[in-house]
Amino acid sequence: MGFNAGIIGLPNVGKTTIFNALSNTKAEMANYPFCTIEPNRSIVAVPDERLNKISDILKKENPIPTKIEFVDIAGLVKGASKGEGLGNKFLSHIRNVNSIIHIVRCFENSNVAHVEGRIDPIRDIELVNTELILSDIELLENAKIKLERKAKSGNKEVKKRLELVCEVIKILNNLDSGKALLDEKLKEKGFGDDDFVLLKEYGLISLKPVLYLANVGENGLSNTYSDEVKRYAESTDAQFLSISGKIEEEISELPPDEKTEFLNAMGLSESGLTRLIKSSYKLLDLITFYTTATQLQAWTIKNGSKALTAASKIHTDFSKGFIKAEVYNYKDLIEAGSEHALRESGKLKFEGKDYAVKDGDIIKFHFNV
Ligand code: GDP
């Protein structure tokens, strides 16, 4: 199972431009087993400075980075929840992603029409979010009807679920024009982790983490429009980033050495796309661990995952026949300077299957099949 982020936004905000730029970046990694699943899906390497440092110390060539998938979800217009535009198809795609990159148009260009007539980022955001909330309400209303039927038997679990669904519908109906704060409100009402697990089954869009991406045009990385988006993101506990889609697309088409030159000339240490990929990864609450047995490779798991889950990422044999994990952390390796010194320092530990993997762990699994 991979992790993915869906790119959404009104038409003509720069989704395709930014998605194409992301798609171009994957070609940079000669050693990267990327693939394009469908024209609107792209798997890209997650830039990770640690991987190169580990590669230097352990003398492992051609490290394999971990990856994240981006999905370009076109088709959102006003009325999508009522079937306008691509309507339900659009909404089902969005239910299937782990997080949302909501692109907001913050660039002026008289040659590119704005579907709502003029640039107004907050109106755009709320228009999109309202459609998303309406679609969640509709989904839950349907679930409620089924649950009410089932609840007649007196089943406690069903009753509890019905209560939860009714509460979520109430909250969503009162959310102030699309501020996606459903989880906060649920917590205020005393709903806990178990309830969120139940809700996950419905694939509620309102519960997915969101990053607002201001597409700012060619004159610098912020303007008054993007400032508005930033404030909105802060007020709703969402992430924010601004980039210029057009410039990123141009940079992504350059050969690697020219790219570095271009960025240096602009006084930037990394491209907007690199920032976007890293932020998308962070948004998902993921951590990276590494294996070095055959080739140095970075892997992704959800923060808080156990060693057994990490093992199953690599091969089912690793988890089925799990014996123990030999673990040390990237930071200790850097401090020690070599694997030999690290072993001497006593920082290498043997852990069982319930060990909570930490970001930057370098793991060798022992297994028996
Ligand atoms: P989508 O409908 O959201 O996928 O939008 P597109 O990526 O197709 O972009 C719509 C139009 O806006 C295209 O003509 C792009 O070239 C243009 N565009 C996208 N990003 C920028 C930008 O940062 N600056 C300018 N000036 N134009 C842009």
Residues 244/272, Cβ–Cβ less than 8 Å: yes
Tell me, using a 6 A CB cutoff, whether residue 305 lines ligand 1.
no
Q: Is the CB of 272 under 6 A from ligand 1?
A: no
Q: Residue 343 in contact with residue 292, Cβ under 8 Å? A: no
| pLDDT given at position 26 | 56
Is residue 15 within 6 Å of ligand 1 at its C-beta? yes
14 close to ligand 1 (CB < 6 Angstrom): yes
Note the pLDDT of residue 84. 62
State how far the Cα of 242 lies from the Cα of 50, in Å rounded to an integer. Answer: 25
Contacts of 369 (CB under 8 A, 6+ apart): 317, 320, 321
Instruction: Take atom 25 of ligand 1 and give the residue whose Cα is closest.
Output: 217
Spatial contact of 286 and 272, defined as CB atoms under 8 Å apart: no
User: Which CATH architecture group holds 4-120+208-283?
Assistant: 3-Layer(aba) Sandwich (3.40)
Residue 360, phi-psi category: left (phi > 0), alpha (psi -120 to 50), beta (remainder): left
Cα of 109 from ligand 1 centre, angstroms:
9
Ligand 1 atom nearest 18 alpha carbon: 7
Q: Mutation test of ligand 1: which of 71, 109, 243 has the most ligand atoms closer than 8 Å to its C-beta?
A: 109
Question: Is pTM beyond 0.75 here?
Answer: yes
- Which residue type occupies 105? R
pLDDT at residue 54, as a whole number:
96
Chain centroid, CA 212 distance in Å: 12
The pLDDT value recorded for residue 27 is: 46
Q: Tell me the domain boundaries of the chain.
A: 4-120+208-283, 128-206, 286-367
CB-side neighbour CA atoms (13 Å) of 195: 20
HSE-up (13 A, CA, CB side) for residue 368: 2
What's the CATH architecture for 128-206? Orthogonal Bundle (1.10)
- Report the SS3 class of residue 344: helix
Q: From the CB of 13, is ligand 1 less than 6 Å away?
A: yes
Q: Are 192 and 72 in contact (CB under 8 A)?
A: no
Query: Where is 306: in which H helix or E strand?
Result: none
* pLDDT reported for residue 32: 44
* Distance from Cα 168 to the centre of ligand 1, integer Å: 36
C-alpha 284 to ligand 1 mean position (Å): 26
Ligand 1 mean position to 119 CA, how many Å? 13
Q: How many CB atoms lie within 10 A of CB 58?
A: 16
Alpha-carbon dihedral sign for residues 189, 194, 198, 203: positive
Q: Which CATH number fits domain 286-367: 3.10.310.40, 3.90.1720.10, 3.10.20.30, 3.10.20.600?
A: 3.10.20.30
Residue type present at position 173 = N
Burial class for 42, CB neighbours closer than 10 Å (0-12, 13-18, 19+): buried
- Check: CB of residue 133 under 8 Å from CB of residue 206: yes
DSSP string, 86-131: THHHHHHHHHTSSEEEEEEE----TTS--TTSS--HHHHHHHHHHH
Angle formed by the axes of helices 15-25 and 272-283, nearest 10°: 90
Cβ-contact 69, 3 below 8 angstroms: yes
Angle between helices 245-252 and 256-265 (to 10 degrees): 140
**Confidence (pLDDT) at 211:** 96
pLDDT tens for the 369 residues of the chain, in order: 578 999 999 888 999 899 988 887 654 444 444 444 456 888 888 889 999 999 999 999 999 999 889 999 876 767 666 666 555 667 788 888 999 999 999 998 877 777 777 889 999 999 889 888 888 999 999 999 999 998 888 888 899 899 999 999 998 888 765 455 777 788 888 888 888 888 888 888 988 999 999 999 888 889 999 999 999 999 888 999 999 999 999 888 888 888 888 888 888 888 898 999 999 988 998 999 999 988 999 999 999 999 999 999 888 877 888 999 999 999 999 999 999 999 999 999 999 999 999 999 999 999 887
CB contact at 8 A, 169 and 137: yes
